[in-house]
Amino acid sequence: MNNKKFTLAQLAEFLSAKVQGDPNIEVTAIVPLQVASAGQISFLDNPKYRKFLAETNASAVILSEEMAEKCPCAALIVKNPYLAYAMTATLFDNKPVAKPGIHPTAIIGEHCEIDNSVAIGPNVVIGDYVKIGKNTVIQPGCIINHDVEIGANCWLWPNVTIYHGTRIGARTIIHSGAVIGSDGFGFAFHQGQYHKIPQIGIVRIGDDVEIGANTTIDRGALGDTIIGNGVKLDNQIQIGHNVEIGDHTVIAAGTGVAGSTKVGKYCRVGGLVGFAGHITITDQVTITAMASVAQSINEPGIYSSGVPAAPFSAWKRNMVRFQQLDSIARRLMQLERKFGEQEQEEESV
């Protein structure tokens, strides 16, 4: 249960914000504008939610200078309301506190190096030669295979599986059901059969990474699969073998990245995007949801593909016309040639 309470003055100091109204007002939670009540604080960043500001019942709102005069209650004025919201939310976070120590039901292999500050929960299984850094938390049911290294201040939620040889940097969060280091999809076809190619690389994960629930990251076939510093992966993402994700790239749920694809730094990828294998995406690329990326992208910018939802009758007409595009293009080229020949005849007269 969250019993935390802060005055606006305390929050203003924490956020480097300016207080508009009574600095002694106390708040006990941060909630959306449209459902906030007395004793709670909210925030306004997205213009779509401005309509809720005038009627909010919040005791205070985090917002920008330009919106301050329209706020009906006290306010914390900041340059970046969304960042200020994120920082405030950390104060009200009710994540369980883990106590250092190893639960008696945990199984620990031989020759492990586990810092005394590490918390290991019930039914965790850890293989041989595993190294775990300071203040890391391993929640119940996690499986960590042999020769894995996990940095300091990491948090593994229940039932995470880490295959052998994986390297994980500091301050990384891995959510439940994630599988790191499973075999990549590699087979050689010969005489009517597929023959498995051993996947002898590993997965290397940088610092400050977050990996969502049920996301899978395959180990490398020969080289390594690499997840850069500050990368954020949503739930149910598939990362193939030998993929490289550049620093501070974010990828939304349901996306699949086929083997040996390289995604640059500071890219933003929407949900359900599909990447072909063996392509390269440069830095600072945004790919919108449900796009199909079949070729390399060499220039920064925003890229999209796919057919947006439309009323069924309009979609059906458009699909029929789409199937006619090739014949229409051929007829157009014939007409262009015909008119071109006519123009040449007229000019020669």
Place of tokens 């109204």: 21
Indicate which residue of 103, 146, 241, 278 is catalytic.
241
Determine the residue type at 134: K
Within 8 A by CB and 6+ apart from 67, the residues are 44, 50, 53
Answer whether 178's CB lies under 8 Å from 202's CB.
no
Interior/surface letters 30-60, b for 16+ CB within 10 angstroms, e for the rest: bbebeebeeebbbbbbeeeeeebbeebebbb
Place of tokens 């262009």: 336
Sign of the torsion angle spanned by Cα atoms 98, 101, 107, 112: positive
Q: Is 241 a catalytic residue?
A: yes
Answer whether 198's CB lies under 8 Å from 176's CB.
no
Answer whether 80's CB lies under 8 Å from 66's CB.
no
DSSP 8-state assignment for residue 297: B
Question: What are the tokens at 315?
Answer: 């979609």
DSSP sequence for 155-207: EE-TT-EE-TT-EE-TT-EE-TT-EEEEPP--EEEETTEEEEPP----EEE-S
Q: Which residues are catalytically annotated? A: 241
